[in-house]
Structure 1
């Protein structure tokens, strides 16, 4: 996934985009937003056709190239038709194929007046094209595409003809990463902000190279607050800027010592995975203070771990504790030390009225539902709001694990981590993530930044190696991903 033209990592729902568009119409009477978007699409198409150079001088061979515009009804189709008109006016040959619905009347008239040619879907596969533009569904489309468009998409890919999607590839739900059937875009141009399908997997794989073009939409209200449905997410560039990198004068103590108190005889793997997550994220030292019965097993997997109590800058607790009578005392002992904590899994059942400053809670939807005394379905229907409510109730930062991972602070600030593929939805991923968070907090990152960076780096690792990698394998790949991200 590539990103171009993004100043801030903003992601917007379809509803929020429509609200921003309506605010634009209200404040710009007589101006045509579709015309602005269409010219951006036309310019992007020319950039692709000309190999990245766009100016007023058209090469002699330009007229020999042909662009196919796949047209739907509504505004997305209108954007495509006006873009087609602009391309034809510049000298490109443009053919229009209506895929579904009735065309945008003004857009079709402009395209035909400019010299574009209408062709049937049946004719498309007998013609030759240098670029195709997807202007079928857009952000308002429902998931899935008709078989006729599937056939065209397959034909384009077999012929190696690149497809430029307007806003979102047709068939994707703009607000999620879910995929039924959709076109495969080599490039996507969207307006003012990313949509969730651009960064959430598996949908992101179908978007190709992304460009965000500013068409003047204002994503804040009159009080300068983000519109509902407008959020920031932590992208790779921000992660690289936040990630703690040791300096020449650092030693193993100044880099941060993370304490791990996880695992049990029944779940020794939770301790191993948490330790691996911590170690592969770059700590100065990892101390393990879990059950003695699993220490030999742990050391066989992670010989650099220091066994026993000692000074730490953060604790990771709760993963794989199992049900034991001494869990409450085990947790209270760590709380009493007063250092920032990553509180996971079984330890979430023992949250006190007052936690040490800077703690991070890492529940999944079921655990958060239990914490808030609501049904799991309520959390799944509003994960963002549920994370905010929990952060305020417990006075700690909350990282809600899921397909989109929300990080909420007690003061109400909420952001999303870089989403990863569904391959990471497996037992043990959360244990690795908790260890990663612990290392970053021990290095001095505030809980929210540690959560965003850890969740994002785990996601980036899984994105770079898509497939059924186990959590310990993902942990082993983390150093390579970190190195790549920091070298951006």
Structure 2
């Protein structure tokens, strides 16, 4: 499991460690890891450290000191290092002395030095930065982001909010970020994640709590969660998922939801709705019923909503069931919050940003800019697990650590892709996973299936569904 911690937790761990170490030792650990990473980046991009022009963008905080000490190490290896000091009187004194002693210099022509740089170290603002960059820092951030140099952010890109991933104005766009001790939420959550580039974690010896503030499943976690039939399994013991989706206008949504469900680990899929003929034509193994859902037969979980139109009766009937229910698409519009909160069985909501905004009474842009706070608010408001789809897929539930999905591709932004995800997650619910595990495992497989299907080119929702089996094999083989 990859984990991230908020600033308050990181600061407390740093204080505890610094109390046991000689003064300055922790910063030296960070600078050593940072310099090593920079040397590697220089080697990859141009072949060597010696003779490379390096520019340090140095603020008044500790990450400015990290940049200065790392710059001193690079200068001792023959790099030409210039430091742009935003507040010369408040620059880290020890780091600046070390840089100058190693042959580095203070820049007197920042624009020219940045234009000539091969590598730029962004040490403007650290994890304590709030509220965006000041004008002089914003100008340097723009120069660095627009330069031809390889830009490395120290701990996080300057201008992003460490705990939420929000970006309040200009910020550095890095090619890579070297972060210390642990991941910070902003490195895993958009819009900040997009600015971080490749993220390198440097271990500096922090002792962190067992419970993280954000977590992301890795291959081994997914392999452990995926249901595997035993020798005594039959289709009913493996779980039956019900799909209440589709309409005369949108029969394809039902087909795609069933496609995802059939590949999600449950033993059987029941379909209820007017798209039965389309479903049977494509998947003859599906059990179909005219409805209502409560009369269709036993299921271990329901998926309701994709392509449903205005069929509120199907939504109410499904929500009355005493089994886990996944609500997507039209179902989100038709399900009353009071009804969802009153359910005793688990509920999983799977909105995209526009749907989440409607549920919260907010603007879509607000949700996209503040994805982590938005998914937490929605989970608390509905008393349910929420999978917020988008450039960063987040899963939140009251009292649980928020999960972020690490897989995916922008090619997944295609019609019907969310219907496949709903069916896949519903099938995992029917197979016995709880709502958080089903949602995060489904998102992982869905993202991986999209990545495998795309290989850098356009895909459709059916390609994603067909790629789930390969993604399943990939996850369990790793």
| TM-score class normalised by the smaller sequence | 0.7 to 0.9
Counterpart of 2:35? Answer: 42
Does the alignment pair 1:10 with 2:3?
A: yes
Does the alignment pair 1:82 with 2:75?
A: no
Task: After TM superposition, give the deviation of residue 450 of structure 1 in Å.
Answer: 0.1
Q: Is the 8 A contact 2:240 2:301 kept in 1?
A: yes
Instruction: Tell me how far apart the structure 2 counterparts of residues 177 and 301 of structure 1 sit (CA, whole Å).
Output: 43
Counterpart of 2:293? Answer: none
Determine which of 146, 149, 154 is the counterpart of 2:144: 149
Does the alignment pair 1:341 with 2:322?
A: no
Task: After TM superposition, give the deviation of residue 79 of structure 1 in Å.
Answer: 0.7
Q: Is the 8 A contact 1:67 1:133 kept in 2?
A: no
Task: After TM superposition, give the deviation of residue 259 of structure 1 in Å.
Answer: 1.8
Instruction: Tell me how far apart the structure 2 counterparts of residues 16 and 270 of structure 1 sit (CA, whole Å).
Output: 44
Instruction: Tell me how far apart the structure 2 counterparts of residues 363 and 124 of structure 1 sit (CA, whole Å).
Output: 43
Instruction: Tell me how far apart the structure 2 counterparts of residues 87 and 267 of structure 1 sit (CA, whole Å).
Output: 61
Shift of the 28–467 alpha-carbon distance from structure 1 to 2, 3 Å rule, reads farther
Does the alignment pair 1:398 with 2:386?
A: yes
Q: Which moved more, 1:311-320 or 1:442-451?
A: 311-320
Counterpart of 1:5? Answer: none
Q: Is the 8 A contact 1:99 1:136 kept in 2?
A: no
Does the alignment pair 1:198 with 2:190?
A: no
Determine which of 23, 33, 58 is the counterpart of 1:31: 23
Deviations 1:2-55 (A, max 9, x none): xxxxxx422245x5477547755995697334333112223444666799xxxx
Determine which of 215, 218, 221 is the counterpart of 1:238: 221
What 5-or-longer segments of structure 2 have no aligned partner?
290-295
SS across alignment from 1:194 = coil
Q: Is the 8 A contact 1:432 1:475 kept in 2?
A: yes
What 5-or-longer segments of structure 1 have no aligned partner?
1-7, 52-60, 157-161
Counterpart of 1:448? Answer: 436
Instruction: Tell me how far apart the structure 1 counterparts of residues 43 and 354 of structure 2 sit (CA, whole Å).
Output: 52
Instruction: Tell me how far apart the structure 2 counterparts of residues 284 and 346 of structure 1 sit (CA, whole Å).
Output: 26
SS across alignment from 2:446 = helix
Instruction: Tell me how far apart the structure 1 counterparts of residues 357 and 23 of structure 2 sit (CA, whole Å).
Output: 48
Does the alignment pair 1:481 with 2:468?
A: no
SS across alignment from 1:444 = coil
* Aligned residue pair count: 442
Q: Is the 8 A contact 1:201 1:422 kept in 2?
A: no
Q: Is the 8 A contact 2:385 2:395 kept in 1?
A: yes
Instruction: Tell me how far apart the structure 2 counterparts of residues 109 and 484 of structure 1 sit (CA, whole Å).
Output: 51
Instruction: Tell me how far apart the structure 2 counterparts of residues 331 and 123 of structure 1 sit (CA, whole Å).
Output: 62
Instruction: Tell me how far apart the structure 2 counterparts of residues 148 and 94 of structure 1 sit (CA, whole Å).
Output: 21
Instruction: Tell me how far apart the structure 1 counterparts of residues 41 and 380 of structure 2 sit (CA, whole Å).
Output: 46
Does the alignment pair 1:432 with 2:417?
A: no
Instruction: Tell me how far apart the structure 2 counterparts of residues 384 and 202 of structure 1 sit (CA, whole Å).
Output: 14
Determine which of 178, 184, 199 is the counterpart of 1:189: 178
Counterpart of 1:416? Answer: 403
After TM superposition, list the pairs within 5 Å mapping 1:81-230 onto structure 2. Answer: 81-88=68-75, 92-99=77-84, 101-102=86-87, 104-106=91-93, 107-116=95-104, 122=112, 133-136=121-124, 138-139=126-127, 140=129, 142=132, 146-150=141-145, 152=147, 154=148, 156=149, 164-169=152-157, 174=162, 175-176=164-165, 182-185=172-175, 187-200=176-189, 204=193, 207=196, 209-217=198-206, 230=213
Determine which of 307, 314, 326 is the counterpart of 2:288: 307
CA RMSD of aligned residues (A): 4.1
Instruction: Tell me how far apart the structure 1 counterparts of residues 305 and 466 of structure 2 sit (CA, whole Å).
Output: 22
Deviations 1:406-450 (A, max 9, x none): 43335x224123155565456534322211111111221111100
Task: After TM superposition, give the deviation of residue 261 of structure 1 in Å.
Answer: 1.4
Shift of the 365–50 alpha-carbon distance from structure 1 to 2, 3 Å rule, reads closer
Shift of the 240–135 alpha-carbon distance from structure 1 to 2, 3 Å rule, reads farther
Deviations 1:285-332 (A, max 9, x none): 3221222xx2222334434433234443222122222224xx33x345
Counterpart of 1:322? Answer: 309
Taking structure 1 as the reference length, what is the TM-score of the superposition? 0.74
Counterpart of 1:275? Answer: 258
Q: Which moved more, 1:38-47 or 1:143-152?
A: 143-152
SS across alignment from 1:85 = helix
Shift of the 20–273 alpha-carbon distance from structure 1 to 2, 3 Å rule, reads farther
Deviations 1:210-242 (A, max 9, x none): 33223345655xxx876xxx3233344422321
Shift of the 297–191 alpha-carbon distance from structure 1 to 2, 3 Å rule, reads same
Taking structure 2 as the reference length, what is the TM-score of the superposition? 0.75
Shift of the 423–138 alpha-carbon distance from structure 1 to 2, 3 Å rule, reads farther
